[in-house]
């Protein structure tokens, strides 16, 4: 199988956007209202801190991590959209969604209109929230589709490497593993939500022993997938510095990591967990030289600061040129933002000049679009 073909269905981004646009690229840049495939919602932590960990590779590490109070307006808008946006992603950038008291309200509203959800979390609060408000039990009851998932950024195979990677002192690793096992147990024979575990390899967690350990743990826990990859350089840096990092660090380290995980990679998509490698090719900054950006048809983002952003990768006040306006519960105003975001003349180089970059999804979609012109996605 090729590298792209080896990815699970939820990572096949060209297929996802093609399906959303019904295979018709005439939808793109026609000036009409077309809601994106998903809204990424960066709930503002607990309004005091965005996250309870301090990962040294966090993409929000050197950008403005402003937090606002806008959750009720966001809920009101989703209510008025009545299912028009099919997918909602909770988490992203520099925020931990399980810190926010409104998360369950958002999940319930998402499913009220038959939409799907994805949650990106460090997993540290799964046990605590189950005890407080039956969070995990409710999550399992709400999930009713293979499109509903929870993704846990574990990034370690032991307590020691987890503490170093997350820049913490306490043993959260054991609690996270217990939380993952609880989710699997509560799910029982039910297939949803899909439980993904992500592992960003770094100098603390990439030994053969560490990788073997996490593979054994995840196989025993019976999660659905385990993804290995290496981190981006930090957002907010000048493009030339990012390119140097890519050539001097990301590529050689990625090659070393790929060799380490190779023996554990799944050979069949029926294996559980499905273990795969996400190479640096999918985040190659050297490929970010296109003009037109169609990622706006894939997503729009509620930033943690209370602004609507063109892109999830630049949802911070550090990228003010990417702001479309304030989060609102006025659907007419929001619709104007959506249309404004579908701008054929928007130069993607603007993002790059500000220190922003495409995430894996945006890069794959935009590279395909710009290489194929008006051919169908």
Are 316 and 66 a contacting pair, CB within 8 Å? yes
Give mean pLDDT, residues 273-292: 89
pLDDT for res 256: 97
SS3 assignment, position 293:
coil
Q: Where are the domains of the chain?
A: 9-372
- Residue 133, pLDDT > 80, answer yes
Average pLDDT of span 261-265: 97
pLDDT band per the 50, 70, 90 thresholds, residue 369: confident
Q: Which two tokens stand for residue 238?
A: 């000048």
pLDDT digits (tens, 9 = 90+) for 313-325: 899 999 999 999 9
Q: 235 vs 45, 58, 61, 257, 356, CA distance in Å?
A: 20, 9, 8, 22, 6
What pLDDT is attached to residue 375?
A: 58
For residue range 160-172, list pLDDT tens digits in order.
999 999 999 999 9
Cβ atoms within 10 A of the Cβ of 83, count? 12
Lowest mean pLDDT among 7-11, 179-183, 220-224, 330-334: 7-11
User: What number is the average pLDDT over the span 226-244?
Assistant: 89
Judged against a pLDDT cut of 50, whether residue 224 lies above it is answered with yes
Question: Do the beta carbons of residue 51 and residue 122 sit within 8 Å?
Answer: yes
Residue 215's pLDDT band (cuts 50, 70, 90): very high
- If one counts every other C-beta atom within 10 angstroms of the C-beta of residue 208, the result is 11
What are the tens digits of pLDDT across the range 111-123?
999 999 999 999 9
- pLDDT over 90, % of the chain: 76
Lowest-confidence range among 144-153, 236-245, 294-303? 236-245
Query: Which candidate, 189, 187, 204, 193, places its Cα nearest to that of 152?
Result: 193
Q: What's the pTM value of the predicted model, to 2 decimals? A: 0.95
State the pLDDT confidence band at 349, using cuts at 50, 70 and 90: confident
pLDDT band at 232 (very low <50, low <70, confident <90, very high): confident
Q: What is the pLDDT of residue 240?
A: 87
Q: What is the pLDDT of residue 3?
A: 44
Q: State how far the Cα of 105 lies from the Cα of 151, in Å rounded to an integer.
A: 19
Superfamily grouping for domain 9-372:
Aldolase class I (3.20.20.70)
List, in order, residues 6 or more apart from 9 with CB less than 8 Å away.
15, 146
Query: Residue 341 pLDDT more than 60?
Result: yes
Question: What pLDDT is stored for residue 281 in this prediction?
Answer: 87
Asked if 138 contacts 144 with a C-beta cutoff of 8 angstroms, the reply is no
User: 208-221 and 251-261 are packed helices; what angle lies between their axes, rounded to 10 degrees?
Assistant: 60
| Average pLDDT value for residue range 336-360 | 90
Structure confidence at residue 373 (pLDDT): 61
pLDDT, tens only, 4-34: 456 788 888 988 999 999 888 888 999 999 9
Instruction: Please provide the average confidence, as pLDDT, over all residues in the chain.
Output: 93
pLDDT, mean of residues 142-149: 97
């Amino acid at each position: 199988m090729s590298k792209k073909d080896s990815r699970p269905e939820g990572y096949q981004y060209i297929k996802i956007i093609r399906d959303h646009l019904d295979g018709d690229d005439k939808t793109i840049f026609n000036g009409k209202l077309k809601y994106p495939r998903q809204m990424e919602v960066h709930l503002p932590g607990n309004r005091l801190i965005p996250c309870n960990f301090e990962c040294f590779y966090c993409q929000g590490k050197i950008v403005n991590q402003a937090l606002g109070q806008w959750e009720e307006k966001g809920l009101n808008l989703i209510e008025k959209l009545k299912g028009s946006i099919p997918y909602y992603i909770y988490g992203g950038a520099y925020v931990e969604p399980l810190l926010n008291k409104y998360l369950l309200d958002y999940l319930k509203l998402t499913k009220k209109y038959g939409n799907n959800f994805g949650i990106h979390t460090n997993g540290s609060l799964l046990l605590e929230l189950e005890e407080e408000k039956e969070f995990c039990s409710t999550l399992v009851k709400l999930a009713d589709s293979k499109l509903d998932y929870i993704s846990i950024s574990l990034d370690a195979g032991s307590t020691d490497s987890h503490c170093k990677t997350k820049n913490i002192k306490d043993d959260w690793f054991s609690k996270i593993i217990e939380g993952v096992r609880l989710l699997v147990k509560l799910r029982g024979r039910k297939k949803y939500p899909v439980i993904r575990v992500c592992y960003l390899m770094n100098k603390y967690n990439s030994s053969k022993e560490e990788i073997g350990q996490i593979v054994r743990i995840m196989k025993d826990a019976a999660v659905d997938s385990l993804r290995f990859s290496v981190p981006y350089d930090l957002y907010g840096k000048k493009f030339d510095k990012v390119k140097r990092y890519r050539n001097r660090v990301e590529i050689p380290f990625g090659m070393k990591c790929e060799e380490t995980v190779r023996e554990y990679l799944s050979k069949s998509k029926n294996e559980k967990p499905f273990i795969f490698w996400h190479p640096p090719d999918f985040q190659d900054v050297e490929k970010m030289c296109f003009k037109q950006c169609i990622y706006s048809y894939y997503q729009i983002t509620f930033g943690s600061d209370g602004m609507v952003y063109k892109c999830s990768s630049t949802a911070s006040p550090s990228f003010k040129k990417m702001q479309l306006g304030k989060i609102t519960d006025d659907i007419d105003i929001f619709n104007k933002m959506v249309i404004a975001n579908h701008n054929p003349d928007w130069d993607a180089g603007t993002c790059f000049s500000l220190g922003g970059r495409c995430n894996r999804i945006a890069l794959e979609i935009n590279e395909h679009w710009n290489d194929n012109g008006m051919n169908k996605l």
